[in-house]
Amino acid sequence: MAISTTALHPQFRPPLRAPGRHRLLPHSSYSSFARARPRTTIRASAASASAPAQREAVAGLPWGCEIESLESAALLERWLIDSGLPEQRLAIQRVDVGERGLVALKNIRKGEKLLFVPPSLVITADSEWSRPEVGEVMKRNAVPDWPLIATYLISEASLEGSSRWSSYIAALPRQPYSLLYWTRAELDTYLVASPIRERAIQRITDVIGTYNDLRDRIFSKHSDLFPEEVYNIETFLWSFGILFSRLVRLPSMDGRVALVPWADMLNHSPEVETFLDFDKSSQGIVFTTDRSYQPGEQVFISYGKKSSGELLLSYGFIPKEGTNPNDSVELLVALDKSDKCYKEKLQALKRNGLSASESFPLRVTGWPVELMVYAFLVVSPPDMSQRFEEMAVAASNKNSTKPGFNYPELEEQALQFILDCCESNISKYSKYLEGGNGSPQVSINAKQANRTLLLKQLAKDLCISERRILYRTQYILRRRLRNMRGGELRALSLFNGLRKLFK
């Protein structure tokens, strides 16, 4: 949960490319950015009517490149090799999956280690600042790693050619298509049916809150070191967008977060599980292939077991429909305020960290036991009030033993409740998909028109993917309810037959 504070949260850890076994904590498990204080004003709010102008400003940043630029990528490769990157078996090319990617130059076997990026070419919270006085102020104020690296990136970018990272920064996208760069009007129009819209709005709000906090605590007190024309909300949206899409956590370096030039040109595939890490024997950042590659074939890593919505949120792309085995959609369920036991149920939920409405992930393979238990609580009658607490505990996932909670007398009602929620969500997706996917009212030039077409297609692909999961869940629920009710009818028919026989 985001907090209102004058200090940056010490455990600032938004989602990033997954290390280790490629598992990310749930979104709610990450400590959030410090939220903006109401009295604070900024030049442009990502959630305000002036957001389109803000996005134009981001697009007009003096650094970075167009997302598909190969020229800047080639210059980056040349600089990296001159700076100590070993000879590579991969090359940057324009690819089908992603705008740019790393492609095999030779046959690559399964189990080979690739890249070997030396630590001297990696950006971390300990990297040397080209302007040491700026870095000293940031570290003196104990700024956590994420906002520290975001500020470092802006500081180095503002120096342009005089920064040692100029070739890397020039190869970074000026405006990726992650949801951080969508205007509020675009989010409200294109993602009206998807739960990922709220996640995107919260992320933008959190970035603005973090910027406001840095500005009030540090930048305004050292305006000679942090001029507003360089350190502003537009540049922070850019730098945080880079971090969300490129920062990795390296397990073998005590979980340190880092930007790894060259390695961050690798694209994601849900079909692989390999990840970046520090290799102590070679003293470089590597990954180990978990499949073979032919010359000219794009090489992939995993960004973690993410849903299509999460991939759009941070990276700006949607996998082809049906290709993401980790796909899911959040289903919002809520207590009925007209329930006679509403207050008692709500109190039980609050005691266990839950609220009157909660979201649970639906997957093609099914739904979590916590959703079923929450549904049991929603439909339970007053004479089961003594069970409310155990239901709330199970729904909150606090019970580590995870016993098979089951209330046979409530199962049909609980399944019907979940089905009703699914069908309500399906109708929202269908209304959007069949309604022409309208466009926000803004002036359109050729570049904006191309952007609008792309965003509409991304939103459409996401909605189709999420609705597909809801349809699958609907089918399973209907079948189970039909079987249950069919069994009841057969039992009733048998009972009536026996009663007639005995009469």
Tens of pLDDT along the chain (503 residues) come to: 332 222 333 333 444 454 433 323 233 322 333 333 333 332 333 333 334 434 444 556 888 888 888 899 999 999 999 999 999 999 999 998 778 999 999 999 999 999 999 999 999 999 999 999 999 999 999 999 999 999 999 999 999 899 999 999 999 998 877 898 899 999 999 999 999 999 999 999 999 999 999 999 999 999 999 999 999 999 999 999 999 999 999 999 989 999 999 999 999 999 999 999 999 999 999 999 999 999 999 999 999 999 999 999 999 999 988 899 999 999 999 999 999 999 999 999 999 999 999 999 999 889 999 999 999 999 999 999 999 999 999 999 865 555 567 899 999 999 999 999 999 999 999 999 998 666 665 556 887 888 889 999 999 999 999 999 999 999 999 999 999 988 655 554 555 554 554 54
Domain end: 282, 315, 348, which one? 315
Q: Residues 269, 462, 177, CA angle at the centre, nearest 5°?
A: 70
The contacts found for 254-259 with CB under 8 angstroms, 24 or more apart, are: 255/19, 256/124, 256/125, 257/16, 257/124, 257/125, 257/145, 257/146, 257/149, 258/122, 258/123, 258/124, 258/285, 259/122, 259/123, 259/124, 259/149, 259/153
Residue-level pLDDT at 496: 54
Domain match, 347 and 282 both: no
Q: Which residues contact 339 (CB under 8 A, 6 or more apart)?
A: 345, 378
Domain match, 422 and 276 both: no
Q: Is the residue at 61 inside a domain?
A: no
Ligand-binding annotation for 267, yes or no, is yes
Domain match, 281 and 350 both: no
Cβ neighbourhood burial of 236 (10 Å; 0-12, 13-18, 19+): buried
Range of the domain at 216: 70-315
Domain match, 300 and 234 both: yes
Domain end: 315, 336, 355, which one? 315
Q: Is the residue at 107 inside a domain?
A: yes
Ligand-binding annotation for 264, yes or no, is yes
Residue-level pLDDT at 154: 97
> Token pair for residue 193?
């049916």
Q: Is the residue at 298 inside a domain?
A: yes
Domain match, 296 and 426 both: no
Our measurement of the distance from residue 370's CA atom to the centroid of its chain's CA atoms, rounded to an integer in Å, reads: 22
Q: Which helix (H) or strand (E) covers residue 114, if one does?
A: strand 113-117
Domain match, 306 and 285 both: yes
Report the CATH number that the domain containing residue 348 is assigned in CATH: 3.90.1420.10
The three-class DSSP label of residue 92 is strand
Domain end: 294, 315, 336, which one? 315
Which residue's structure tokens are 């909300």?
233
> Token pair for residue 256?
């340190």
Ligand-binding annotation for 27, yes or no, is no
pTM value is 0.82
Q: Is the residue at 224 inside a domain?
A: yes
Report the CATH number that the domain containing residue 140 is assigned in CATH: 3.90.1410.10
Give the separation between CA 102 and CA 114, rounded to whole angstroms.
11
Q: Is the residue at 41 inside a domain?
A: no
Ligand-binding annotation for 268, yes or no, is yes
Q: Is the residue at 293 inside a domain?
A: yes
Give the separation between CA 319 and CA 4, rounded to whole angstroms.
36
Ligand-binding annotation for 471, yes or no, is no
Q: Which helix (H) or strand (E) covers residue 267, if one does?
A: strand 267-268
Domain match, 336 and 410 both: yes
Nearest CA to 425 among 192, 188, 185? 192
Q: What is the largest CA-CA distance in the chain?
A: 100
| Neighbour tally for 75: CB within 10 Å | 17
How is the chain split among helix, strand and coil, in percent rounded to 5? 50, 10, 40
Ligand-binding annotation for 126, yes or no, is no
Nearest CA to 257 among 123, 128, 154, 142? 123
Domain match, 423 and 363 both: yes
Q: Is the residue at 173 inside a domain?
A: yes
| Total of domains in the chain | 2
Domain match, 83 and 206 both: yes
Domain match, 239 and 362 both: no
Give the separation between CA 174 and CA 421, rounded to whole angstroms.
40
Domain match, 340 and 282 both: no
Domain match, 163 and 309 both: yes
Residue-level pLDDT at 441: 58
Which residue's structure tokens are 């040397």?
128
Q: Is the residue at 216 inside a domain?
A: yes
